[in-house]
Amino acid sequence: MTKPKKGVTRRRFLEGIGLAGGSAALYETMTAMGLINVPEAWAGPPQLPAGTGNGKKVVILGAGIGGLTAAYELRNAGYQVQIIEVTERAGGRNHTGRRGTVLVEKTESGKTLKQVCKFDEGLYINLGPGRLPYHHRRVLHYCRELNVALEIYVMETMANLFQSDKHFGGKPKIRRQIANDIQGYISEMLAKAVNQNALNDELSGDDRNRLLCLLKNFGDLGENKTCAKCGKEKCQNCNKTCQDCVACDRDCDTCFKYSGSTRDGCEITVYKPCEPGEKLALKELLSSEFWRYRFYQSFEYEWQPTLFQPVGGMDKIVDGFLRRIGRLIQYETEVLNIDTRDNGVTITVRDLKTRVRRNISADYCVSNIPLPILSKIKNNFDDEFKKAVATCVYDPTCKLGWQANRRFWEDNKNQIYGGISYTTDPITQMWYPSYDYFTKNGTLTGLYNYDQDAIAFGNMSLEDRIKVARKGAVKFHPEFADDKLVPSDKAISIAWQNIPNEGGGWANWDPNSDDHAKAYRRLLTPDRRFYVVGDQVSQLPGWQEGAMESAQHVVEQIGGRRKLMVPQDLRAPNTRRLIHGRS
């Protein structure tokens, strides 16, 4: 009797897929069969099977955050990893200035600008990234894994300032007054519209009453104000539910009028209770267009609290990586040529000290080089990939840091403990330190600008940068006029577009550009064995989370855990929204 043939079991089928198509095909098949769950949110770093990288070599170009993350994960998976870095330091745009830090710039005119940071010991300024959102889970993961201590970064306090040369007499106004007064005026006008039955089509009677209750609270309207029509009746004095109070106050205009609020701040003594001060005029608030100057930036998702920062400076993240993989880095070595093939890569490099050239062969190459810099390196990329690399440009951006020998912003007059003040002046903003409160001295980011302001600032001499930044800072705090209190010889500035091998602050992607969409999609897949990483090829340009996300994407591609294709409807990131917020 003939024995029946055995059917193909799931195990034998999967073994066949693995033999025919490799680990990538096996992973995709198991995912399609529902045997591997694809999480909607990030669930941890790449989990490559043990021994995935045995006998395989990866050369990584650039020791920025993307390159360090890729190197760390690939080494953990058993790959032999070598990192080539053109400068004498790791971290790329993650750069913290402290005593002894040297900055060298090359301006558009070819002039070299050199600075040495002269801050007192223990003080620092983050010249690149300065904050870590709570939802950037990859950054927080690596901080925990690399033992990088974190503390709270304060993005906004209600004591921060807004200053406009053309409004409020040029004097800075406290954030809480602007925010609460405009909120009060808007609430008053909306309540008036409700009471004039302008929203009857949109709201039922009960909902109109609920909205009025909300507006009385939201805008701090009419509380404890005598009703002009009722005489003795006072707003919100029904001793009943809110809706009952609305019903008895509805005919009283005073009950829905914004007359100022103690939310703006007040002084209290044993003889004087907290009373509303003078409110800002609505016309002046509107003409100032304060909302166009990042006033509501902290409402955007990337800047919502809670935010964090490494204790002692952002470069502590770099130090954490270096403790694990620092020995893999070859510094002061430039890339001269990239030759990628179907079965490997050859990178020609030159030691900048000895001028000796040599070739490095590897199974894969991962580039963390900024795309505008990469486009200038000799290569054999295919035409589509070469065009995608050339499509990306970087934005100019500048920062300037001050040392103040007294923390005057924390005094009885200012009472500012962290956060950011904004201005229409070219300095754009001022960051107050979120650490070392109540100590003797500290540092402030006294300028952080973009676009044409950054181009103009980057073309200035170092001395003129200090003069311009001081002129803008005095508009916030007259203490900046005192060179002994805020000494010029301890200021340090950076124009990222002038930094060799960086070329700017971040990749400028436009989500409305078809060319950008095509280039972005192409860069998410390799040219044979050549891959690109960094925030420049992520949906978070300008953020370290984007660099880490990109690195993990490439690690999974190399390890066969992610397919080498991307959705064809994928658009490029919205760089301006992610960097500037809505304005």
pTM of the model: 0.90
Q: What is the pLDDT of residues 307-352, one digit of tens each?
A: 999 999 999 999 999 999 999 999 999 999 999 999 999 999 999 9
Q: Please, what are the domains in the chain?
A: 8-38 (no CATH), 57-91+315-394+504-580 (3.50.50.60), 96-128+395-498 (3.90.660.10), 174-299 (1.20.1440.240)
The pLDDT value recorded for residue 275 is 87
Mean pLDDT of 506-524: 97
Contacts for 2 with CB less than 8 Å, ≥ 6 apart: none
Mean pLDDT of 1-15: 52
Beta strands in 405-501 (DSSP E): 420-423, 429-431, 442-450, 492-495
Return the minimum-mean-pLDDT range out of 40-44, 252-256, 280-284, 541-545: 252-256
334 forms bridges with which residues in the sheet? 350
**What is the C-alpha to C-alpha distance for residues 362 and 317, in angstroms, rounded to an integer?**
28
Q: What is the pLDDT of residues 348-383, one digit of tens each?
A: 999 999 999 999 999 999 999 999 999 999 999 999
The pLDDT value recorded for residue 50 is 80
Residue 71, pLDDT above cutoff 70: yes
Q: What is the pLDDT of residues 429-440, one digit of tens each?
A: 999 999 999 999
* Spatial CA neighbour of 86 closest among 364, 369, 345: 369
Mean pLDDT of 487-503: 97
Highest mean pLDDT out of 45-49, 88-92, 201-205, 570-574: 88-92
The pLDDT value recorded for residue 256 is 84
Residue 505, pLDDT above cutoff 70: yes
**What is the C-alpha to C-alpha distance for residues 64 and 533, in angstroms, rounded to an integer?**
10
The pLDDT value recorded for residue 39 is 41
More confident: 479 or 561: 479
Residue 228, pLDDT above cutoff 80: no
Residue 137, pLDDT above cutoff 70: yes
C-alpha pair distances (Å), 374 with each of 35, 62, 86, 335: 40, 11, 12, 9
Confidence of residue 209 (pLDDT cuts 50, 70, 90): confident
More confident: 185 or 203: 185
The pLDDT value recorded for residue 567 is 87
CB 420 within 8 A of CB 172: no
Q: Determine the 3-state secondary structure of 227 from DSSP.
A: coil
CB 143 within 8 A of CB 317: yes
410 forms bridges with which residues in the sheet? none
Confidence of residue 89 (pLDDT cuts 50, 70, 90): very high
Percent of residues, the chain, with pLDDT higher than 70: 87
- Average model confidence (pLDDT) across the chain: 90
Residue 527, pLDDT above cutoff 80: yes
Give, for 335, the enclosing helix (H) or strand (E).
Answer: strand 333-341
Confidence of residue 232 (pLDDT cuts 50, 70, 90): very low
Mean pLDDT of 535-555: 97
Mean pLDDT of 68-95: 97
CB 92 within 8 A of CB 61: no
The pLDDT value recorded for residue 269 is 81
The pLDDT value recorded for residue 64 is 98
The pLDDT value recorded for residue 36 is 40
CB 293 within 8 A of CB 45: no
